[in-house]
Amino acid sequence: MRMRPTLSWTPSEDPPPSTTDLRPVVDALAAGRVLVLSGAGISTESGIPDYRGEGGSLSRHTPMLYQDFTDSAHARRRYWARSHLGWRAFGRARPNAGHRAVAAFGRHAMLSGMITQNVDGLHQAAGSEGVVELHGGLDRVVCLGCGVLIARRELARRLEEANPAFAPVAAGMNPDGDADLTDDQVADFHVVPCALCGGVLKPDVVFFGEAVSRHRVEQCRDLVQAADSLLVLGSSLTVMSGLRFVRQAAQAGKPVLIINRDVTRGDRYAVTRVDLPLGAALTTVADRLGVSVDDDEAAVGA
């Protein structure tokens, strides 16, 4: 029997109280060696919806599952049609104040590392370096046959040529870059194969139901071990791929700090959860630390 991945989580006990006090975050960054773990909530101010927050995409759609993608040509056509349209808008998204603040913290040697659950590349666009993309990145595509990696822009060009009249109106966009379309809207979409071997192309991201590579998990575990504290930004920590690092940090006695508007699955391990909008909160933290996060400075590190 096929097991469905965890898409939601309900607290089994009353969560610890949240706060609006940013002093613990300021103190942790001032001390240095902070490992950042970011989730979809940091990109909402760039126009990319999250999965589980207020108005999150899971309230209206089920994301593509790995086995559905690999088992069904129909599922792949549906995914690539939606993703091709969504990519046009997704690719225009720009870093917001939260991304720029994180990049500034890195340039001022306050961070020991950076892990993101996001696939949008906005941390790198803001100037963050050494970002570990836990779930991969939408800017590249992998062939499931021969393993070749190609740039997403190259696939977009091929899909445009194969579908010159494809211009449906979408109901919305999702965190993984696909747009909300009906089955009728995607019925005539033509999927292109790998140009080298004719194999199935897949975005180089971890779908729901797909495991993060062992190498990447160990890389992140090493980052947790090397850090003095862990700062979680905009993640509900519903899935184990991110929660495991929160648990690791807490078990090692390293302070876990969370900035997120909603209750998270990691609250019980945290010394504090700050309930504030991320862009404003991180800008305030930067101001208190005397760190500039303006666009010009961020561009220098890009």
Q: Is 42 annotated as a binding residue?
A: yes
Q: Is 52 annotated as a binding residue?
A: yes
- Which residue among 84, 123, 135, 190 is the active-site one? 135
Q: Is 95 annotated as a binding residue?
A: no
Q: Is the pTM for the entire model greater than 0.75?
A: yes
- CA-based torsion, 173, 174, 179, 183: positive or negative: negative
Q: Is 220 annotated as a binding residue?
A: no
Does 123 participate in catalysis according to the annotation?
Answer: no
- Rounded Cα distance, 93 and 83, in Å: 15
Q: Is 19 annotated as a binding residue?
A: no
- Rounded Cα distance, 216 and 291, in Å: 31
Query: pLDDT confidence of 4, banded at 50, 70, 90?
Result: very low
Query: 284: how many CB neighbours lie within 10 A of its CB?
Result: 15
Q: Is 134 annotated as a binding residue?
A: no
Q: Percent of the chain at pLDDT above 70? A: 86
Mean pLDDT value across residues 83-97: 86
Residue 219, phi-psi category: left (phi > 0), alpha (psi -120 to 50), beta (remainder): alpha
Domains in the chain: ranges and CATH = 18-48+95-135+212-302 (3.40.50.1220), 58-92+138-205 (3.30.1600)
Find all residues with CB under 8 Å of 83, minimum gap 6, and list them. 176, 177, 178, 179, 203
- Contact assessment for residue 230 and residue 257, using Cβ atoms and an 8 Å cutoff: yes
pLDDT per residue as tens digits for the range 112-164:
999 999 999 999 999 999 999 999 999 999 999 999 999 999 999 999 999 99
